[in-house]
Amino acid sequence: MSFDDASTQARLEEVTDMVVDIWADVLEIDRSTIDPRESDFFALGGYSLLILQSISRLLAGQGIGEEDGQELEGLLLNELFENPTAAAQAECLLRNISIQA
């Protein structure tokens, strides 16, 4: 999926904002302290149980059920360890939703 066109970029920003909101809630920090492209989930205080909670909430927020979301959950988990930013989570989700659709 290319994030070059305006509608896709708008969708990416929407999902990135959702990730930031979820992280702020599960990490119990102010949303304004999270830079979507730079802030590291783990440096912000994240750990394994919070990872699973945030991914589950992200998938639910996108209307993806537990059964349908199992593969996406694994992909998002791997992405978070490789690139632990909110923007990377949003990009991974959108890239893989389009592949599974």
Mean pLDDT of 34-58: 97
- Residue pair 72/59 in contact (Cβ under 8 Å)? The answer is yes
Q: What are 68-96's pLDDT values in tens digits?
A: 889 999 999 999 999 999 999 999 999 99
Greater model confidence, 57 or 4: 57
Radius of gyration over alpha carbons of the chain, in Å? 13
The per-residue pLDDT for 2 is 62
